[in-house]
Structure 1
């Protein structure tokens, strides 16, 4: 068996309002803004945790692919409005402390920190576009 050296470099999440998304990832989560390309609502914004230059999230317009039909655009918009379209799992050494700091900044909390039956302690909240952000206890 060949062992490959593969890492996660970028993940993509949709945004509705690029300025709100930048404020959330920068001011609430403490991520760096590494790139901001485009104009108006058609912006691709790369953010990532400080000290982890090889790991990033690209925030993009949700229906930027020209091959997406009008019905698909409508479905994506409906799923985003419900908060059921996209998400990401993050980790922190102290999920309770991080949750308290994030909650104090007025985010849309979905789940306070709890011990899950499958062995993780985590919490969940939504970014301005409705993306589900799960924050897990690292380690």
Structure 2
């Protein structure tokens, strides 16, 4: 058996409407799915034009977590101790950085030239870490 693609990643968020505003309104991702399943809201976003790879923005709770565990996850997330990570690429790290600063995004570090490219860090409203990089061409 061989894996051939990652179709979905998951991040915990405390408020799905706020997450949607951040990921779509500030980062420029697209809403992929927003469906009430009864037992949970299935909310996914994707990079524009890439419907093959979605990010599930999930509130801690059923069906994945029992109430006590969900409360622990919410507490850790609020403290910034349990955030997930995402890595995006961009054609122009400095321009993307300036755009996000203008939108009031929480910047954790400024664009820095590294051996693999130029990258910088941001954080979503829930403590999840995000790296955005402009990669150097592969040799």
TM-score normalised by the chain length of structure 2: 0.82
Q: CA deviation at 1:122?
A: 1.1
Per the alignment, residue 58 of structure 2 pairs with 60
Shift in CA distance, 7/19, structure 1 to aligned 2, threshold 3 Å = same
In the other structure, the counterpart of 2:4 is 6
The equivalent of 2:124 in structure 1 is 127
The answer to whether the 8 Å contact 1:122/1:135 transfers is: yes
Instruction: Give the equivalent residue in structure 2 for 1:32.
Output: 30
Q: How many residues align?
A: 134
Whether the 8 Å CA contact 1:108–1:127 is kept in 2: the answer is: yes
Shift of the alpha carbon at 1:125? 0.9
Structure 2 gaps of 5+ residues are: none
**Which deviates further from its counterpart, 18-27 or 42-51?**
42-51
Contact 2:13 2:57 in 1 (8 A): yes
Q: CA deviation at 1:10?
A: 0.5
Cα distance between partner residues in 2 of 1:90 and 1:46? 16
Cα pair distance change 1:135/1:34, threshold 3 Å: same
Q: With the length of structure 1 as denominator, give the TM-score of the two structures.
A: 0.82
Confirm or deny that 1:22 pairs with 2:20.
Answer: yes
- Say whether the 8 Å CA contact 2:61–2:67 is kept in structure 1: no
Say if 2:101 is the partner of 1:103: yes
Deviations 1:58-111 (A, max 9, x none): 1001233455472x4444223312323212111111111111101110011111
Instruction: Give the Cα–Cα distance (whole angstroms) in 2 for the partners of residues 82 and 90 of structure 1.
Output: 24
CA contact (8 A) 1:94 1:137 kept: yes
Give unmatched runs, 5+ long, in structure 1: none
* Cα shift readout 1:13-41 (whole Å, capped 9, x = no counterpart): 011111111011111111111111238xx
CA distance in 2, matches of 1:23, 1:132: 17
